[in-house]
Amino acid sequence: MRTWLLLPFGLESAWLARAESLRHPDSCSAAFLVAREPNELLEQCSEEQLALGRRGCCVSLSPAASSAPGAVLACVAPFRTSPLAALAFVLGRGMKVIENRALKDEEKMELQEIQLKEAKHIAEEADRKYEEVARKLVIIEGDLERTEERAELAESKCSELEEELKNVTNNLKSLEAQAEKYSQKEDKYEEEIKILTDKLKEAETRAEFAERSVAKLEKTIDDLEDELYAQKLKYKAISEELDHALNDMTSIARRALQESSFGEMGHLPWFPQPQSACTASLRKTACSLTS
């Protein structure tokens, strides 16, 4: 069973403040506090312990202690009779607090050293990144200048292209108007083409019929030419026969005239040159047949 006395907050806090100041031995105030601490602490402890004893401000952590007044009085009794025991208790407790704080400070310092190393590493990394970013910035600035030059050229080209686009748009509008006009003409021409196509088909039909008729006529002409040639041959043969006959008749008539003493004329007046007249008439007939 563990019990302790619940000391007043003012005494403990005062001693802790003094113990905290003793962590800095170079200060003059620390030496002064060490010189005057025993008497003050004894007086303050005796007064406060007596007051606590009269008011019964003693606390126990165990149920048995809290239910036993004798145990509480036994716990408080040493501090009533001996203020040095209270001072030793307060000093021991303050030392523990200081040690705990020192350990925490050491841990904090170690943590801060680690954080310092990390911060240095981060700073070095940041410097390296800064140098790299600065180098990249120089490169990017050069690229930016070249990009701005290209942008200016692109803007000039863009303005030129806009002018060309306006011209093309105007030309397109005029072409659209012409296209509409030509579309109307195209419709008209399509109608004419349709009509001409129908006429062409009709003409082709007529041409086929005419070709067939021409073929028939050519065949007829060939037959007629063959027949004409045959008739010409016959005519030639007949003409030759007639010429021979007329010559014979003429010779016979001349001999008859010579034999007869009918007059002194060289031919008969009632039969004037029968051979020449017959020959001329036969030739005229042949020419008419040929044409």
**pLDDT one-digit tens code per residue, 39-58:** 454 455 445 444 544 444 43
Residue 2 has pLDDT above 50, yes or no: no
Q: Is 287 exposed, middle or buried, given 0-12, 13-18 or 19+ CB atoms closer than 10 A?
A: exposed
Mean pLDDT of the chain: 72
For residue 24, the 8-state DSSP code is: -
**pLDDT one-digit tens code per residue, 61-89:** 344 444 444 444 454 455 555 667 767 77
Residue 109 has pLDDT above 70, yes or no: yes
Read off the pTM: 0.26
First to last CA, the chain: 169
Chain center to CA of 264 = 131
Please give the helix or strand (H or E) that residue 60 lies within, else none. strand 59-60
Residue 113's pLDDT band, with cuts at 50, 70 and 90, is: very high
Judge whether 59 and 75 are in contact, CB under 8 Å. Answer: no
Residue 131's pLDDT band, with cuts at 50, 70 and 90, is: very high
Integer-rounded Cα radius of gyration of the chain: 79
Residue 138's pLDDT band, with cuts at 50, 70 and 90, is: very high
Judge whether 17 and 37 are in contact, CB under 8 Å. Answer: no
- Look at residues 242, 236, 235 and name the one whose alpha carbon lies nearest to residue 275: 242
Residue 111 has pLDDT above 80, yes or no: yes
